[in-house]
Structure 1
Amino acid sequence: MVEGISHITFVVKNLQKTAELLETVFDAKKVYDSGDKTFSISKELFYLIGDQWIVIMENEETVNRTYHHVAFKIKAQDLSDFERKIKKVNLEMKPSRSRISGEGQSLYFYDYDNNLFELHTGTLEERLEAYQN
Structure 2
Amino acid sequence: MPIQHLSHPTFIVKDLERMAYFLCEGLGAVEIYDSQAQHFSLSHEKFFSLGSLWLAAMQGDPPAERSYQHVAFKIEEHELASYQARLEALGVDIKPPRPRVKGEGQSLYFYDFDNHLFELHTGTLTQRLARYSEDTEPY
Report the TM-score range of the alignment, normalised by the length of the smaller protein: over 0.9
CA drift of 1:60 comes to: 3.5
Task: Give unmatched runs, 5+ long, in structure 1.
Answer: none
Q: Report the counterpart of residue 56 of structure 1 in structure 2.
A: 57
CA drift of 1:61 comes to: 4.9
CA distance in 2, matches of 1:96, 1:50: 25
CA drift of 1:62 comes to: 4.7
SS in 2 for 1:98: coil
Structural mapping, 1:8-87, within 5 Å: 8-87=9-88
Runs of 4 or more consecutive aligned structure 1 residues displaced over 4 Å after TM superposition: none
CA distance in 2, matches of 1:13, 1:47: 17
CA distance in 2, matches of 1:128, 1:60: 37
CA drift of 1:33 comes to: 0.5
CA distance in 2, matches of 1:45, 1:10: 10
AA matched with 1:10: F
CA distance in 2, matches of 1:61, 1:17: 13
**1:129 to 2:127 alignment:** no
CA contact (8 A) 1:108 1:118 kept: yes
AA matched with 1:131: Y
CA drift of 1:130 comes to: 0.9
RMSD: 0.9
CA contact (8 A) 1:63 1:115 kept: no
CA distance in 1, matches of 2:55, 2:124: 21
CA drift of 1:116 comes to: 0.1
The sequence identity of aligned pairs, in percent, is 44
Deviation string 1:95-121 (CA, Å, 9 cap, x unpaired) is: 222111110000000000000000000
SS in 2 for 1:100: coil
CA contact (8 A) 2:62 2:115 kept: no
